[in-house]
Amino acid sequence: MTPESVMMMGTEAMKVALALAAPLLLVALVTGLIISILQAATQINEMTLSFIPKIIARIYRHYYCRTVDAQSVAGLRPHLVH
């Protein structure tokens, strides 16, 4: 294996990891931002308040976005199986 091929495979692996992790991370980010804005507006300073909505949002995304996940994995299959 040449250094160029190793770099190409590493780059592709990072792209696949980002493509698979981004939807869940974005759901958690948006949920956290909404909860923090509500906490700032209502002056509720409870640190653990954001955990439950984030968990609910992730479960919702997991169960109701299976077709999007299936399409993502199908599109990434050529990169996963080398």
**Structure tokens that stand for 68 in this block:** 């999007």
How confident is the model at residue 79, as a pLDDT? 67
Provide the residue range defining the domain that includes 58: 3-80
Residues 6+ apart with CB under 8 A from 19: 72, 76
Question: What's the average model confidence in pLDDT over 2-25?
Answer: 85
Total domains in the fold of the chain: 1
28, 59 contact by CB (below 8 A): no
Sign of torsion over alpha carbons 42, 24, 12, 3: positive
How confident is the model at residue 82, as a pLDDT? 60
53, 35 contact by CB (below 8 A): yes
Give the phi and the psi of residue 46 in degrees, each rounded to 5: -100, 120
Helices (H) then strands (E): counts for the chain? 3, 0
How confident is the model at residue 34, as a pLDDT? 92
pLDDT tens digits, one per residue of 21-80 = 888 888 889 988 998 899 889 888 887 887 888 888 888 877 877 777 777 777 777 766
Q: Is the pTM of this model over 0.75?
A: no
